[in-house]
Each structure stands twice: as structure tokens, then as C-alpha cells.
């Protein structure tokens, strides 16, 4: 069976049509993700508007080293993911393989750094609840948004790592030819997770540094 024939699903008459459909559908899904995180951004915006002081004080307690390191890591993972897709288009199987693995590893590195960061945050007591150390109104709310936003992002990243790992395994077993739209589909999702972090960085780590 030709590669194309292995990859085409019902009811698509041709691979280009199916690729178009997958790209379109994934972007529609990304739109839903934008609105999903959008709810959190709205909440953040509202409370920052209401409690600018409290937010600044809360934000000064995030660790910028972790934040910036993770930004660099996730941006680099987007690089390797983008190259993987380009390599797939060029039928460069080994390059795709290496880039997918690199992407997954960068993703895992992000989670590891995040894990250390969460541990530090917990040790220092910055978990919203009855024992929260900062008392200005808004500081605790900031930290709720910090936890929820980064956790939801981390869950999305984990799912992304799972998908990249799946692609890698299927590619290794020669079950997913490089012409499949799945590579681009997963990449689009991965880049969105990167973009979301890029927006989270200034909101959570870069405010309150100059005072």
C-alpha cells in the first residue's frame, strides 16, 4: 500500500484535502484553547485592575529565574518542533525523529523546572489558603491565578509531550508515514502552548520588578 493510501482516512478523497481539513480543524481547536485560557486572562485582568498594589506585591515573589529559563526552554522546543515538521515535508526521517525527541525532552525539562519551582513556592508558603503570608488584598488572588494558570498550562504541555511521544513511537515503528497531517497537527498545538507561556511570562514574572 502506498504511503498516501495508508494515511488517508474516510471520507477524504485525497491527501491534500485531508491535510487542509486537519489544519483547519486543529486551528478551530486552538481557537477553543484561546477562549479557554481567555477566561483566566479575563480574571487576571479584572483583579489586576481592582488591586494593582496587591498584584505587584504578589508578583514580586515569583522567581524570575525559573520563569525566564522556562521561557527559553519552551521557545527552543518550538524551534525543534518547527524543524520536525519541515523535515517531514522534506522526507528526512532521521531528522524528524531527532527533532521530535528533542521537542519532547525540552518539554520534559520545562516540567522538571516547573516542578522545582512549585516545590520552592510551596516551601516558601505561597499557596493560597488560610496560611498565605501576604495580606494585601489582591496578593493572594494573584497567587491563585499563578497556580491555576501555570497548572493548566503544564497539563496542556504534558498532553503535548504525550502526543509528540506517540508520534515518535509510531514513526519509529513505521506506522505513521511522514506525509501524514498528524505531524503538522501536533506541531500547531505545541506552538500554541508556547504562545500561551509567552503571554504568561510578563503577567506572572515581569511585573513589579522595577520597584
Tell me how far, at minimum, the Cβ of 35 lies from another protein, in Å: 4
Contact with another protein (CB under 8 A) among 6, 14, 17, 172 = 17
Binding to another protein by CB under 8 A, coded x per residue (else -) over 72-101, reads x--xx-xx-xxx--xx--x-x--x------
Tell me how far, at minimum, the Cβ of 11 lies from another protein, in Å: 4
Tell me how far, at minimum, the Cβ of 120 lies from another protein, in Å: 18
User: Does 199 help bind another protein (rule: CB under 8 A)?
Assistant: yes
Q: Give the range of 103-111, 113-121, 158-166, 194-202 binding another protein by CB under 8 A.
A: 194-202
> Do the beta carbons of residue 127 and residue 147 sit within 8 Å?
yes
Helices (H) and strands (E) in the chain — how many of each? 7, 0
Sign of the four-CA dihedral 91, 97, 102, 108: positive
User: Does 2 help bind another protein (rule: CB under 8 A)?
Assistant: no
User: Quick one: 87 or 100, whose CB is closer to another protein?
Assistant: 87
Tell me how far, at minimum, the Cβ of 60 lies from another protein, in Å: 11
Nearest by Cα to 136 from 61, 203, 210, 43: 61
Contact with another protein (CB under 8 A) among 38, 115, 125, 162 = 38
User: Does 118 help bind another protein (rule: CB under 8 A)?
Assistant: no
Report DSSP state, residue 207. Answer: T
Q: Give the range of 30-38, 102-110, 112-120, 158-166 binding another protein by CB under 8 A.
A: 30-38
Binding to another protein by CB under 8 A, coded x per residue (else -) over 123-142, reads -----xxx------xx-xx-
Tell me how far, at minimum, the Cβ of 186 lies from another protein, in Å: 12
Alpha carbon of 63 to those of 10, 39, 116, 123, 206: distances in Å?
50, 24, 11, 13, 10
User: Does 23 help bind another protein (rule: CB under 8 A)?
Assistant: yes
CA atoms in the 13 A half-sphere facing the CB of 195:
12
Alpha carbon of 160 to those of 18, 135, 189: distances in Å?
22, 37, 7
Nearest by Cα to 190 from 82, 52, 55: 82
User: Quick one: 78 or 168, whose CB is closer to another protein?
Assistant: 78
Amino acid at each position: 500500500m502506498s504511503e498516501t493510501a495508508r494515511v488517508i482516512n474516510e471520507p477524504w478523497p485525497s491527501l491534500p484535502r485531508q491535510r487542509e481539513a486537519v489544519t483547519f480543524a486543529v486551528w478551530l481547536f486552538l481557537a477553543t484553547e484561546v477562549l479557554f485560557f481567555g477566561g483566566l486572562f479575563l480574571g487576571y485582568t479584572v483583579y489586576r485592575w481592582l488591586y494593582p498594589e496587591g498584584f505587584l506585591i504578589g508578583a514580586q515573589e515569583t522567581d524570575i529565574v525559573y520563569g525566564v529559563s522556562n521561557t527559553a526552554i519552551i521557545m527552543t522546543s518550538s524551534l525543534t518542533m518547527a524543524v520536525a515538521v519541515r523535515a517531514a515535508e522534506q522526507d528526512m526521517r532521521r531528522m524528524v525523529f531527532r527533532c521530535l525527541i528533542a521537542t519532547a525532552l525540552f518539554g520534559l525539562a520545562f516540567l522538571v523546572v516547573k516542578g522545582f519551582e512549585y516545590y520552592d513556592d510551596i516551601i516558601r508558603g505561597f499557596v493560597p489558603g488560610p496560611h498565605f503570608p501576604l495580606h494585601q488584598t489582591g496578593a493572594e488572588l494573584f497567587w491563585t491565578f499563578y497556580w491555576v494558570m501555570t497548572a493548566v498550562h503544564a497539563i496542556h504541555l504534558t498532553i503535548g509531550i504525550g502526543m509528540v511521544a506517540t508520534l515518535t513511537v509510531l514513526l519509529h515503528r513505521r506506522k505513521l508515514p511522514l506525509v501524514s497531517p498528524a505531524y503538522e497537527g501536533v506541531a500547531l498545538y505545541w506552538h500554541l502552548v508556547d504562545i500561551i507561556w509567552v503571554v504568561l511570562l510578563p503577567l506572572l514574572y515581569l511585573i513589579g520588578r522595577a520597584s
